[in-house]
Amino acid sequence: WVPAVSAEPAYDLKKLAQDVQVRWVVENLVQAGKVGALVAAGGTGKTTLLLHLFICIATGRQFLGNNVKQGSTVLLTNDDPQEDMVAALALVCRAMSLSDAEYAMVEHRVRVVSLQGLGGIKTFSTAIGGAATATGLVEALLQAVEDINDIVMVALDTLRGRCQLS
């Protein structure tokens, strides 16, 4: 059986293009509710770029000239200890010349969480006896987002070093 093909499309793309409403985290750049990946070699600035983005989301500043949805963000990392991540966040804040009010927004809305103290394998699941079994990464993620009622974005940095999506 082959469906009949009409010479005329069953939809009006021009009208649809006008009617479609996209929810953006970063207007015209990052859609809300989607999974994405930022991929580049180590040491090229991915974490710094994420921190800059998170500060923009926290403060409502534009990111790369685009409007953002203001709210809270969480960055979980397996690359650096907690104190290094907080220091990196502070350095990006300083580079952005934040006001006192903006510093307060970042302190309240940007969470950076090192996973280095989390023992065991850092995947969402692993096979034990042939069955998929949750690991501690799920609990770490849930704990990191606990009590946040305006969450806009969560990032896992990085997928190397046994911090993997499985």
**pLDDT tens digit string along 73-124?**
999 888 888 999 999 999 999 999 999 999 999 999 999 988 887 766 666 6
**Over 80: is that where the pLDDT of 134 sits?**
no
Q: Which residues pair with 30 in a beta bridge?
A: 26
Query: Which one-letter DSSP state was computed for residue 150?
Result: S
Q: What is the pLDDT of residue 159?
A: 52
Q: What is the pLDDT of residue 157?
A: 81
Q: Are 85 and 165 in contact (CB under 8 A)?
A: no
Residues 6+ apart with CB under 8 A from 121: 135, 162
What single letter denotes the amino acid at residue 138?
Answer: V
- Listed in sequence order, the DSSP H helices in the chain are 13-19, 46-59, 82-95, 100-109, 136-145
Pick from 46, 45, 49, 48: which is nearest to 26 by CA? Answer: 49
Q: What is the pLDDT of residue 64?
A: 96
**Over 70: is that where the pLDDT of 4 sits?**
no
Q: Are 150 and 58 in contact (CB under 8 A)?
A: no
Integer Cα distance of 129 and 133 in angstroms: 9
Residues of the chain with pLDDT > 70, as a percent, come to 83
Pick from 34, 99, 30: which is nearest to 68 by CA? Answer: 30
Q: What is the pLDDT of residue 161?
A: 46
Q: What is the pLDDT of residue 121?
A: 62
Q: What is the pLDDT of residue 83?
A: 95
Q: What is the pLDDT of residue 163?
A: 43
